[in-house]
Amino acid sequence: MRIPNNWTPRPYQRPLWDYLERGGRNAVACWHRRAGKDEVALHRACVAAHERRGNYWHMLPEFAQARKAMWDAINPHSGRRRIDEAFPQELRASTNQTEMKIVLKCGSIWQLVGSDNFNSLIGSPPVGIVYSEWAVADPRAHGYLRPILAENKGWAVFIYTSRGYNHGFTTYQAAIDTPGSFAQRLTAQETSVFTAEQLDAERRAYHAEYGQHDGDALFRQEYECDFSAANVGAILGRYVETAEKDGRISDDFDFDWDGPGIEISSDIGFRDTAAFWFWQARPDGYVLVDYDEDSGLDAPEWIARLKERASVNNWPIKHIHLPHDAKAKTFATKFSAQEQFWEAFGVANVSIVPQTLISDRINAARNVIQNCRFNRSRCKEGLNSLRSWGYKYDHERKTFGKEPDHNWASHGGDGYSYGSLIMRERAIVKDKPKPLYKNNPYEMTFNDLVARQTKKREAAEADF
């Protein structure tokens, strides 16, 4: 059997295929919807698996969506499962339906995984990873896995459509700027997958479903890979872009030694991802000097980590604001997260953010972010979260819900919004001008003086 099996790349897919065939190790393909991104990746993974024995992963943003989107997906043109086309049964030694894993007779293993649980994928280092729908995946996944690929001289392929100026954009730009990498952005007008009439019909359908403004933005994302198109449903995305345009995101914004100490807002979870924002108040707003996020850490581990970070930077911690669920106790510990933070930082320096409606937190975040500046490098992961934090879309009702989607971006968004509730209450109120004292001519306006003299003159004339 020859591989790829009964398949050849389309003309516009050939540059990516040829790059990987020549041994390329870092490829970014920002292609429009239905351009065949996963198809190319699946067939290339099968070829690579027979060229070099090893583990190969096809990573979706969430493990739960991998079965529906890839494992059970049927090619509408052939009526066959996509994985059966790319990995024919004749090449397989075994197929694990539960783990969505294929063991090939050549000794290689191909498997579907999720970026939402990347740190559990320890023990079988991959030599090839496809990051599918990368723009909506957890960007920390590649940071965690990059050293593994570097050590074993493996490769990574990022395939996706654009979702605003988030980590998908920075990944694309990095590939452009890195010698030896592959970067390609393809619009529907460039590939001829759709006719002009079909694209026009798609645009009208988006307008009818989402409204003209949001529908046009979605069309530009899906079919034109336009990074500048608004990320529809994003809660703070446009506010972050405004901050970028206004020059409020820069490495020039750092801790001010003449200013007050650091305040930390957070979103924490037991053995779940936790996020911490580092705020410093300024006369004209706030500077976010740092951001930290990780998963699998308990309260004592986070306490040690926060103390170490503050010590390394010599930052005085003024106050820590914990979310309302920090009061909860579990069977695993006798003390709540709040009590453990009290013990470590002092009762007076730790408080619980008042419990409010999510909509109030969102309003606070939108209000406060307009007076915030961010350290670009230290807050990179946090800013990616704020750009992607969005409402959950209801496909049946064709509308966005009132609740944010609970995904990789929600922890950074929640942590920032908790802090915003506190910071909003401290909005700087400019001193009102003192009232003019009519008895003091030096504090009167010219019109006041004229009126005063006119009144005196008229009174004198009346007496006369």
pLDDT tens, 386-397? Answer: 999 999 876 566
d(CA 179, CA 176): 8
Evaluate if residue 5 carries a pLDDT over 70.
yes
Evaluate if residue 438 carries a pLDDT over 70.
no
387 and 234 Cβ atoms separated by less than 8 Å: yes
Q: What are phi and psi of 105, to 5 degrees?
A: -65, -25
166-194 burial: b if 16+ Cβ within 10 Å, else e = bbbbebbeebeeeeebbbbbbbbeebebb
175 contacts: CB under 8 Å, gap ≥ 6: 26, 27, 28, 158, 181, 182, 183
The maximal CA–CA distance of the chain, rounded, in angstroms, is: 122
Which residue from 250, 239, 243 is spatially nearest to 377, judged by alpha carbons? Answer: 250
For range 118-124, the mean pLDDT: 74
Q: Is 151 exposed, middle or buried (0-12, 13-18, 19+ CB in 10 A)?
A: exposed
Helices 237-245, 380-388: crossing angle, 10 deg rounding: 130
Evaluate if residue 443 carries a pLDDT over 90.
no
**Beta-bridge mates of residue 46:** none
115 and 60 Cβ atoms separated by less than 8 Å: yes
Evaluate if residue 432 carries a pLDDT over 50.
no
Evaluate if residue 430 carries a pLDDT over 60.
no
For range 125-150, the mean pLDDT: 94
Query: Which DSSP letter does residue 8 get?
Result: -
Confidence of residue 400 (pLDDT cuts 50, 70, 90): confident
Confidence of residue 122 (pLDDT cuts 50, 70, 90): low
In the chain, the percentage of residues whose pLDDT exceeds 90 is 75
Evaluate if residue 362 carries a pLDDT over 60.
yes
Mean pLDDT, the chain, rounded, equals 90
The confidence score (pLDDT) of residue 230 equals: 77
In the chain, the percentage of residues whose pLDDT exceeds 70 is 88
The confidence score (pLDDT) of residue 428 equals: 46
Q: For residue range 159-206, list pLDDT tens digits in order.
A: 999 998 899 999 999 999 999 999 999 999 999 899 999 999 999 999
Identify the H or E element spanning 321: strand 317-322
AA identity, residue 374: F
The confidence score (pLDDT) of residue 429 equals: 43
- Measured at the CA of 389, the angle between CA 185 and CA 40, to 5 degrees, comes to 30
Q: What is the pTM of this model?
A: 0.79
Q: For residue range 196-218, list pLDDT tens digits in order.
A: 999 999 999 999 988 898 899 99
Q: Is 437 exposed, middle or buried (0-12, 13-18, 19+ CB in 10 A)?
A: exposed
Evaluate if residue 56 carries a pLDDT over 90.
yes
Q: What are phi and psi of 311, to 5 degrees?
A: -70, -45
Evaluate if residue 117 carries a pLDDT over 90.
no
AA identity, residue 113: V
Q: Which two tokens stand for residue 165?
A: 């100026």
**Beta-bridge mates of residue 287:** 280, 373
AA identity, residue 441: P
Q: For residue range 304-327, list pLDDT tens digits in order.
A: 999 999 999 999 999 999 999 888
Residue bearing the bigger pLDDT, 228 or 441: 228
The confidence score (pLDDT) of residue 431 equals: 45
Q: Is 164 exposed, middle or buried (0-12, 13-18, 19+ CB in 10 A)?
A: buried
Confidence of residue 330 (pLDDT cuts 50, 70, 90): low
The confidence score (pLDDT) of residue 227 equals: 93
